[in-house]
Structures are given as C-alpha cells and as structure tokens.
C-alpha cells in the first residue's frame, strides 16, 4: 500500500521520468497506431522499428556520442528509408506488401546487426547501451530522454489535431478526399512521419518489438468498442497509457521484471478482454445474439405453422405431429420452443395438444403475411419464378419490419389491408388441397 | 575448413527455410516467419525451465508446440474475433514475445539463457562443436540442419501437388475436396520447426531473411514453382558465400552479413528486372 502511494505520487525521482515517459508513449502510439490500423498497414510499425537499428548505429558511428537527439535523427532517417523502400518494392514489382515488409525488415535489421558487431569488435569505450535499442531498457532512461519524449508527443498531438479532418477523410474514403482537394500523398507522408517519430523516440525505452506492439495492440483493442474515429483514438490512447502505467508499476513493484514487455502484456490483456466481452462486437455478445436469433426464428416458425394449421381448417388444437407436416421440429427443439412460447403466453396447453392465444395467433399471422408479401414482391418486382420465391421468403419473413412491410405494400400499389391469403392461393398451390 | 562449415550451414538454412518461404510468399503470409520466430520464445524458455538443459530436443518440442499455438491463436483472433489479419498476427506474436522476455528476465539468475542468445545465434560458433557420424566429423549444427533439409525436401516434394494447388488457388483446392486447413497447419508446423532449428545456429534475423528474400527474388524471376526452388537454392548459396566473405572483411556478424548480401542479390534482380521490363515495351 505504501509502495503504491509512493508510486502514484511519483516520489522517487528515478521512477518519475520512466512512468511519465511510458504513459505518454503508450498514449501517443495508441493514437498513431490507430491510423495505421485503419489503413490496414498495421505491421508497418514492426518493419520501421526493426529498420531503425542501422540508423541509430550509423548516427553513433558518425557522431561518436550517444546523444538522444542525434540517435533519434538517425533512427528517423533509416525508418523513413524503410517506408520508402516498402512502397517502392510494392509499386514497382509484383511483390505484395507483406513480403516487401519482411524483406525490408530482415535486411535492415541484418545490416544493423552487422554494424552493431562491427562497433562492438572495433570500439572499446563508450558503446555500451547500444543494444538497448533492440530490447529496450526503460530503467536506463535519462531526464534528457524524457524531455525528448515530451517534445515528440507534443508534436504528434499538434500534427494530428491540425490535420485531423484531412486524415479522417483520406482514411475512410481516399477517393472522396482527393476530389475535395486533399492530397493523398501528403496524408500518407504525414502518417508516416507520425509513425516514425513515435517509434524513433520509443525504441530505446521499450525496444523494437515492444514498440511495434504498442502500435498494434491498443488500436486492435479499441476497435471492439466503437465504430467512430475520435472515440477510437481516445480509447486506444487510454489503453496504451493505462497499459504503460500498469506495466511500469508492476516492474517497479516486482524485481527483475522488464517494463516494456509488462506493458505489452497488460495491453494485450485489454485486447483479449475487449475481444471477449465488448458489447456488440465481443465474441460472447455475438454468440448470445446468434442464439437469441435462432430461438426467435424457431418460435416464429412454430407460430406460423400453427396459424396455417388453423387457416386450413385443421382445428384449433395442434401437436408436434401436425406441425411437423409443415415445419419439422425435433423432439428436443420442439419441447424447448413450445415451453418458451407457453411462458410468453403465445400458446396454451390444452390436454392432448396446444392452442394459440390471441397474441400468438396475431404474431403467427403477421409472420405468415410477411412471408406472402415477400413472395408477391419477388414475383412482381423481381420477376422470380413461382417455385423459387418460397425459400427466399422463408428467411425474409423473420427480418421484415412493419415499416418495410408498409413500404413494400406501397411499392406494389396495395393498401395495408391487403389480404395476401386470398391473393396468393392462385399462385401457390396449397399442399393440403393438392 | 571452418569457413566451409559456416557457408554450408548458411546454405542449408537458406535452402530449407527458402522453400517454405516460397509457399508462405505465395500465400501472402511472409510476415509469418517474423511472427513465428518471435512467438516461439516463451515455448523455448518454458521447455528449458522444465527440462533444465539446453539439449535441442526439448527446446525444439517447446518451440514447435508454441508455433502451432501461435497459428491457432492468430486464426482464432481473425476468425472468431473478426480482427483484420495483420493486426491479429501482430497482437499474438508481440504478446507471446513479451511473455518470453518476461520469463527470460525473471529466471535469468537461475538459468543460463538470455534473449540475446536465443535470438542472435552466432554462426561463428558453429564449427566449435563437432561430432562424427559415418566417419565424417562435421559440426553438430550441420548434422541437425542436414536432417532438417532432408525432412523439408521430403515434405515439399511428397506434397508437391498439394502445395501447388493450395498455394496458387486455395479456393479451387477446397472445392475439389483438398483439406486446405490441414495443409495450412502442416506448413505452419514445418515453418515453426525450420525456424527453431535454424535459429539455434544462425539466429532469428537470418531465418527471417532467408524465409523471404530468396523466395521474393525467385518470385521476381519466375512463377514456376520448380524453377523458383532452383533460384532459391542458388540465391541461398551465393548469399551464404558472399555473407561469409563480407563478414571476414568487416569483422562483423556472419548472420547479419548473409542477410545483407541476400538483400543485395534481391536488389540486383529487382533492378535488372525493372530495366528489362522497360526496354521491352
């Protein structure tokens, strides 16, 4: 508890830089990653992050010092080259973007390893810490790093805010955006700049893989919660920041736990939880919805069959055998469906069988009417043959709303009191009569 | 002699992974190599912690199981969770890699294992450990890779028709009753095995490079699967040889140099192809 308090108020100055920097990094990469995610170029971050290694090392070789600004510049330059190269390969040859990403990633990183080993074998003194760029080391961050961080975050926020509308238009409909005078090229460059800036400041803190993960996972998680851009950016940023906060807290609390990977694990957990439990898009919600739909369809089919039974003069009582002549129900399914209908008050049990209640009869008749309206519509408007319309209508009857029904009747030039039962008899021969 | 073994090791890795990379490339799954080589890390670490030794077999099993799990998870995320494919892949492998790094860091004290040695296997050490079979004293890595090479040749040529159909037109393959999922998972299993076996001796980065670069070079030159394999083998050999020479000049990592040279080969073919296409209108 004491530790938690100490952590929250950031009493420890060493921790202060790290925590603030990681939270900022999480937020920024959540936002920038969302743009790449929506452009379906999620893995570009992975390639850019790997490709920065040679840039960092060349910057070190040329300058001889480990100043963060120079390293960031070097990283940004080689990151830029990698994006350009991926684009070039995909545009000028038949190689697809996934292969181009892998090619650029492995060759740049290979070059990085060559340079790293060269430096390690030929320089003696000041090269330690260069491999932090591969695995990251949040604890080794200096106040200077944190300042660089904050500056970059500010730039990213400003860039996003200043051209938010153009970015949005280009992401969702680039043809439209071009037609109103937004240059697609410019927005591509802008998003690339954002990506490169974020990664180039982030890799030293959390390492290459963790950096690309921060660009991939928060947007993935936030996509489950919303379909709108601003909420997605906010949620994604929050997931990144929260993950960073939790990750750095755990690594502060437990010895021998690296910050970067912990952050990723936390963010991934958000993604898993979102995938399972998010309303509307979560797996559980979708499963549940499917189950409800299946149930409703079974109920409606049963009611419709019962109504048809009555209309054809088979009496008001019905049982499974009778219904099965029109709509087959297995014993188990029958039991479950009829029980639900009983509980909802659509049918009553009458010693040997069941009978429809008033509401049940109306409901079933509605379904039957929709079925027939759709059949008439398909025949008259879509010129479909008599034999084909029934199957189509079997599914559509469950999805026609009263509004659509009204519209179809209007379209067909029929009044809403149109009785399809009278009309349809001439077209569809009744199996009982035949 | 050391040079010979190193080049041979590189060549074996290039030709085994290259042939699988070929199939991955045709399925637009080239980043899978990158994903798998990161995602198997926790498998290796857990296997190491359980078995307590750095013997290849348990590590291999751990990695293969983790490779299949990765494939399954990616499939689950993109099919059931409806996440777009690249994001599903990115989420899964970075998550698993993070777990791996945490395990490595956590148990670094009691275990002789670190992320560096798993990811950047060093080719220079290959000739140090030798054992002889059939009267030939060759490095251990060469024996293992020779086994892998044979295995992959077997898998590739025995299933050649299936690979051909499922790579170029998986919908057609499915429609004539081929179990495309089975082929997919076999390819993933083979890729996991090849990735793991190889990066024990050459490091992850060279595996990723050899998975995609020779295959992409071949793809630029021809669309015939058999010819692609030939190009891959030649490319792999030249990259290994050139990479070894480069590393001698620069006094740098052999694996990294091989990756760089392999990219140089790709670039040359790329430029020649582009020029060639321009001159023939």
Question: For residues B34 and A178, what is the distance between their CA atoms, to the nearest angstrom?
Answer: 35
Please say whether the beta carbons of A71 and A86 come within 8 A.
no
User: Closest by alpha carbon to A57, among A119, A108, A103, A141?
Assistant: A119
Amino acid A239: pLDDT: 93
A289 in reach of chain B (CB within 8 A): no
- Total length of chain B: 281
pLDDT of residue A210 exceeding 50: yes
pLDDT of residue B55 exceeding 70: no
User: Distance (Å) from the C-alpha of residue A132 to the closest C-alpha of chain B?
Assistant: 11
Long-range contacts of A146-150 (CB under 8 A, 24+ apart): A146/A17, A146/A20, A146/A21, A148/A68, A148/A69, A148/A72, A148/A201, A149/A21, A149/A24, A149/A25, A149/A201, A149/A205, A150/A20, A150/A21, A150/A24
pLDDT digits (tens, 9 = 90+) for A382-425: 888 878 888 888 888 888 888 888 888 877 777 655 555 555 44
pLDDT digits (tens, 9 = 90+) for B166-200: 777 777 877 887 777 788 888 888 888 888 778 77
Residues of chain A above pLDDT 90, percent = 15
Amino acid A217: pLDDT: 93
pLDDT of residue A161 exceeding 80: yes
Taking an 8 Å cut-off on Cβ atoms, the answer to whether A216 and B30 are in contact is no
Q: How many CA atoms lie within 13 A of B154 on its CB side?
A: 7
Task: Transcribe A310-359 into DSSP letters.
Answer: HHTTS-S-B-HHHHHTTS---HHHHHHHHHHHHHHTSEEEETTEEEE-HH
User: Distance (Å) from the C-alpha of residue A93 to the closest C-alpha of chain B?
Assistant: 8
Chain A residues closer than 8 Å to B251 by CB: 117-118, 121-122
Cα nearest neighbour of B107 on chain A: A256
pLDDT class for A6, splitting at 50, 70, 90? low
User: Distance (Å) from the C-alpha of residue B159 to the closest C-alpha of chain A?
Assistant: 24
Question: For residues A71 and A57, what is the distance between their CA atoms, to the nearest angstrom?
Answer: 8
Mean pLDDT of B55-76: 83
Chain B residues closer than 8 Å to A115 by CB: 252
Mean pLDDT of A281-300: 90
Taking an 8 Å cut-off on Cβ atoms, the answer to whether B251 and A93 are in contact is no
Question: For residues A247 and A257, what is the distance between their CA atoms, to the nearest angstrom?
Answer: 9
Question: For residues B266 and B252, what is the distance between their CA atoms, to the nearest angstrom?
Answer: 21
Please say whether the beta carbons of B95 and B87 come within 8 A.
no
User: Distance (Å) from the C-alpha of residue A118 to the closest C-alpha of chain B?
Assistant: 5
Instruction: Identify which has the larger pLDDT, A372 or A222.
Output: A222
A98 in reach of chain B (CB within 8 A): yes
Chain B residues closer than 8 Å to A209 by CB: 38, 94, 97-98
pLDDT of residue A433 exceeding 50: no
Tokens of residue B148, six digits: 């892998």
Question: For residues A101 and A401, what is the distance between their CA atoms, to the nearest angstrom?
Answer: 48
Interface of A with B in 254-273 (CB under 8 A): 256-258, 260-262, 264-265, 268, 271
Please say whether the beta carbons of A145 and A136 come within 8 A.
no
pLDDT digits (tens, 9 = 90+) for B121-138: 666 666 666 666 676 666
Helix residue ranges, H only, B80-124: 85-106, 115-119
Question: For residues A147 and A17, what is the distance between their CA atoms, to the nearest angstrom?
Answer: 9
Interface of A with B in 119-178 (CB under 8 A): 121-122, 131, 135
Amino acid A427: pLDDT: 42
Mean pLDDT of B5-31: 85
Amino acid A426: pLDDT: 41
Please state, in angstroms and as integers, the Cα–Cα distance from residue B154 to each residue in B19, B20, B227, B231, following that order: 11, 12, 17, 19
Neighbouring residues of A259: CB distance < 8 A, sequence distance ≥ 6: A18, A22, A136, A138, A139, A205, A206, A247, A248, A251
Rounded to the nearest integer, the mean pLDDT of chain B is 81
pLDDT of residue A154 exceeding 70: yes
Interface of A with B in 26-85 (CB under 8 A): 37, 40-43, 45-46
Taking an 8 Å cut-off on Cβ atoms, the answer to whether A110 and B120 are in contact is no
pLDDT of residue A165 exceeding 70: yes
| CATH code 1.10.10.10 for A282-434 | yes
pLDDT class for A429, splitting at 50, 70, 90? very low
User: Closest by alpha carbon to A222, among A35, A23, A21?
Assistant: A35
Question: For residues A339 and B61, what is the distance between their CA atoms, to the nearest angstrom?
Answer: 52
Whole-complex ipTM: 0.88
pLDDT of residue A53 exceeding 80: yes
Amino acid A434: pLDDT: 36
Mean pLDDT of A118-129: 66
pLDDT digits (tens, 9 = 90+) for B224-254: 888 888 889 888 899 889 988 888 888 888 8
Amino acid A428: pLDDT: 43
Q: What is the largest CA-CA distance in chain A?
A: 100
Amino acid A104: pLDDT: 92
CATH architecture entry for A2-278: Orthogonal Bundle (1.10)
pLDDT digits (tens, 9 = 90+) for A224-243: 998 888 899 999 999 999 99
Backbone φ and ψ for A385, nearest 5 degrees, come out as -75, 155
pLDDT of residue B111 exceeding 60: no
A-B CB pairs within 8 A amount to 195
* Homologous superfamily in CATH for domain B2-125+137-275: ABC transporter involved in vitamin B12 uptake, BtuC (1.10.3470.10)
Q: Where are the domains of chain A?
A: 2-278, 282-434
The 3-state DSSP class for residue B216 equals helix
Please say whether the beta carbons of A130 and A54 come within 8 A.
no
Cα nearest neighbour of A112 on chain B: B256
Please state, in angstroms and as integers, the Cα–Cα distance from residue A422 to each residue in A394, A411, A425, B3, B160, following that order: 19, 19, 6, 92, 63
pLDDT of residue B67 exceeding 90: no
Mean pLDDT of A114-127: 72
Question: For residues A239 and A169, what is the distance between their CA atoms, to the nearest angstrom?
Answer: 25
pLDDT of residue B64 exceeding 90: no
pLDDT class for B278, splitting at 50, 70, 90? low
pLDDT class for A22, splitting at 50, 70, 90? confident
Taking an 8 Å cut-off on Cβ atoms, the answer to whether A93 and B262 are in contact is no
């Amino acid at each position: 508890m004491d530790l938690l308090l100490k952590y929250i108020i950031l009493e420890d100055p060493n921790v202060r830089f790290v925590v603030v920097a990681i939270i900022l990094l999480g937020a920024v990469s959540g936002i920038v990653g969302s743009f790449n995610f929506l452009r379906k170029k999620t893995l570009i971050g992975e390639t850019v992050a790997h490709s920065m290694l040679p840039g960092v090392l060349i910057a070190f070789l040329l300058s001889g010092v480990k100043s963060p600004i120079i390293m960031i510049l070097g990283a940004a330059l080689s990151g830029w080259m990698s994006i350009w190269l991926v684009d070039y390969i995909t545009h000028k040859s038949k190689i697809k973007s996934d292969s181009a990403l892998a090619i650029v990633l492995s060759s740049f990183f290979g070059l990085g390893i060559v340079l790293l080993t060269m430096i390690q074998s030929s320089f003696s003194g000041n090269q330690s810490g260069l491999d932090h760029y591969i695995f990251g080391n949040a604890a080794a961050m200096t106040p200077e790093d944190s300042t660089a961080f904050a500056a970059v975050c500010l730039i990213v926020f400003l860039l996003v805010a200043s051209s938010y509308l153009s970015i949005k238009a280009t992401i969702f409909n680039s043809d439209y955006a071009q037609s109103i005078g937004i240059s697609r090229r410019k927005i591509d460059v802008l998003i690339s700049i954002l990506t490169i800036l974020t990664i180039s400041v982030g890799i030293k803190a959390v390492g290459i893989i963790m950096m690309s993960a921060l660009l991939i996972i928060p947007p993935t998680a936030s996509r489950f919660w919303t379909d709108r851009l601003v909420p997605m950016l906010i949620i994604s940023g929050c997931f990144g920041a929260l993950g960073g906060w939790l990750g750095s807290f755990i690594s502060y609390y437990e010895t021998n736990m690296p910050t970067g990977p912990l952050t990723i694990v936390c963010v991934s957990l958000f993604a898993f939880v979102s995938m399972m439990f998010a309303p509307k898009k979560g797996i559980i919600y979708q499963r549940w919805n499917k189950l409800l739909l299946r149930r409703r369809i079974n109920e409606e089919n049963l009611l419709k069959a019962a109504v048809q039974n009555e209309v054809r003069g088979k009496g008001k009582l019905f049982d499974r055998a009778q219904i099965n002549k029109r709509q087959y129900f297995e014993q188990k399914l029958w039991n479950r469906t009829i029980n639900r209908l009983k509980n909802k008050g659509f049918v009553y049990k009458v010693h040997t069988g069941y009978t429809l209640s008033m509401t049940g009869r109306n409901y079933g008749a509605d379904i039957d009417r929709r079925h027939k309206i759709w059949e008439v519509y398909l025949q008259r408007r879509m010129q479909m043959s008599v034999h084909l319309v029934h199957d189509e209508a079997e599914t559509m009857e469950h999805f026609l709303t009263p509004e659509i029904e009204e519209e179809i009747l209007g379209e067909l030039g029929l009044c809403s009191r149109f009785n399809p039962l009278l009309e349809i008899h001439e077209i569809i021969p009744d199996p009982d009569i035949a | 002699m050391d040079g010979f073994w190193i080049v041979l090791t590189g060549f074996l890795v290039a030709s085994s992974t290259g042939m699988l990379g070929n199939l991955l490339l045709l399925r637009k799954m080239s980043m899978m190599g990158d994903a798998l080589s990161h995602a198997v890390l926790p498998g290796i670490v857990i296997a190491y912690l359980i078995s307590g030794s750095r013997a290849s077999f348990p590590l291999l099993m751990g990695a293969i199981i983790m490779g299949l799990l990765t494939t399954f998870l990616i499939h689950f995320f993109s099919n059931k969770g409806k996440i777009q494919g690249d994001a599903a892949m990115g989420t899964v492998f970075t998550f698993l890699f993070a777990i791996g790094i945490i395990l490595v860091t956590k148990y670094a004290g009691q275990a002789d294992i670190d992320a560096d040695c798993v990811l950047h296997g060093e080719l220079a050490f290959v000739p140090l450990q030798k054992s002889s079979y059939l009267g030939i004293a060759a490095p251990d890595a060469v024996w293992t890779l020779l086994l892998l090479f044979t295995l992959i040749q077997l898998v590739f040529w025995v299933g050649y028709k299936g690979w051909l159909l499922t790579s170029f037109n998986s919908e057609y393959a499915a429609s004539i009753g081929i179990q495309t999922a089975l082929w997919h998972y076999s390819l993933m299993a083979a890729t996991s095995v090849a990735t793991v076996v190889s990066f024990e001796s050459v490091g992850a980065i060279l595996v990723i490079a050899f998975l995609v670069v020779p295959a992409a070079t071949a793809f630029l030159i021809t669309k015939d699967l058999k010819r692609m394999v030939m190009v891959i083998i030649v490319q792999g050999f030249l990259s290994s040889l050139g990479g070894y020479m480069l590393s001698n000049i620069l006094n740098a990592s052999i694996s990294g140099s091989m990756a760089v040279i392999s990219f140089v080969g790709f670039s040359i073919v790329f430029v020649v192809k582009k020029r060639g296409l321009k001159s023939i209108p």
